[in-house]
Structure 1
Amino acid sequence: MANVETAHTADLGVAARKAIRALLAEVFEEEVTEDDWEHCLGGVHALVWEGTEPGAELVGHASVVQRRLLYDGRALRAGYVEGVAVRADRRRRGYAAAMMEELERVVRHAYDLGALGASDDGARLYTARGWQRWRGPTSALTPTGVVRTPEDDDCVFVLPVATRLDLTRELTCDWRDGEVW
């Protein structure tokens, strides 16, 4: 039996934060840097737990954090999805979709749009849920100015909410350490 819960980073206990970090390291095969971990914090987490307390086991995680995206001369408040992970032996059970449903609710009620960077495998999940691939150029607002991020073209997806978007225009993300998208 699985249970999906949502909680703000501030409401996660030490044990939950350790479980999330361990799950991300397992799913992404130790590729989770300090910057990657930091990108997951400060927003709302969707967590999939199997079993009952005190032996419940974390098998899925995703979070949505606030970022600013520059589009058409405006700074939009974006709900940016991070750290979507389901343990390998628990995939194809609808856990990622259940977590995304919770986070999309947050995005639709609190942000101008949703955004995320997706792998090829993840792209199928997001497009099936109505997320749209950004087809225009991507950039980052760095300490030295706007810098193109062509390596991220075709990896960014958006969920339009309150703003009409032309997916072929330039989209610029705010600066952060590590992977900017």
Structure 2
Amino acid sequence: MGTPVAVGVADRDDGTSIQATAATTRTPRAASTHRPRRLIRAPSALRRLHHRPWACRRRRARSDWHSGPVPDVRVAESGELTEQELGVAEALVRTAFGAGFRSHDWLHGVDGVHVVVSEDGVLLAHASVVARTVGHVDRVFDTGYVEAVAVAEDHRGRGLGRLVMDHAESVIRDRHHIGALNAVQSAVPFYAGRGWMTWNGPTSADTPDGRVDTDDPADRIMLFPTSSSDPSTFVETVALVCDWREGHLW
């Protein structure tokens, strides 16, 4: 049904950058047999867009910022960004992910809470946290699903990916039971180092046609526990079940 908004452009704290790659088109498949596997914690581990100045109600980044000028961070509720601002953010994400990025990939994150990082009126980084539901065993979790994480190419290596995720994770902690995302392979160590856990069990989705298997070896589903969720409750012999949306379900 299309590629996910693969969460994968993020700056590493060691100064290296992670290159975004769009995932291949995927569709739900018939159910398959799964081996029990453990939920694991991995070890720690754009170019500048010449648009009109980024208009935002600013707040300064954290006081421990130590890589050049302190950028401005805005957390914008759904509907607060103007069409122009959304257009600039979409251009940033599309540039980062390349030709494989499709219209519904961006639309998946439009209605979420947007975290935007700018400097001198230029957008440098973006992430969106979308309210979804993920079911597991006998529980349905209010989930903050992270989409459209991107950092301007000329500004990678400054820790902007870390900065934008600091604020995205704060939204998850404050408003949701858990966080979830589907990462590109190169970004898995970055997220794991922040406490995101790799899900190795089966996945499904509740669709208008009923529950369907969504297992795909190219998916890298990751979960972010909060004080409202206990990681030990996630058993990898039982599927994670996401809600329905157009395009790629995860």
Same fold (TM over 0.5): yes
Residue 99 of structure 1: aligned partner: 164
Deviations 1:60-79 (A, max 9, x none): 11010100111112221100
Q: 1:40 to 1:176 in 2, by over 3 A?
A: same
Deviations 1:3-37 (A, max 9, x none): 22211131111221110111111111133322111
Structure 1 residues 1-181: aligned runs within 5 Å: 1=69, 2-51=71-120, 56-151=121-216, 155-161=220-226, 162-164=228-230, 165-168=233-236, 169-181=238-250
Q: Which has the larger radius of gyration?
A: 2
Quick check: 1:137–1:153 contact (8 Å CA) kept in 2? no
Q: Which has the higher contact order (CA 8 A, sep 6+)?
A: 2
What CA distance in whole angstroms lies between the structure 1 residues aligned with 2:174 and 2:203?
25
Say which structure is richer in strand: 1
Q: 1:152 to 1:104 in 2, by over 3 A?
A: farther
* Bigger mean CA deviation after superposition, 85-94 or 126-135: 85-94
Quick check: 1:134–1:153 contact (8 Å CA) kept in 2? no
- Tell me the TM-score normalised to structure 2 length: 0.67
Quick check: 1:142–1:174 contact (8 Å CA) kept in 2? yes
Identity %, equivalent residues: 37
Q: How many residues matched?
A: 177
- Tell me the TM-score normalised to structure 1 length: 0.92
Q: Give the ranges of 4+ consecutive aligned residues of structure 1 lying more than 4 Å apart after TM superposition.
A: none
3-state DSSP of counterpart to 1:29: helix
Say which structure is richer in helix: 1
Query: Alpha carbon RMSD of aligned pairs, Å?
Result: 1.5
Q: 1:114 to 1:82 in 2, by over 3 A?
A: same
Tell me, which stretches of 5 or more residues in structure 1 are unaligned? none
Tell me, which stretches of 5 or more residues in structure 2 are unaligned? 1-68
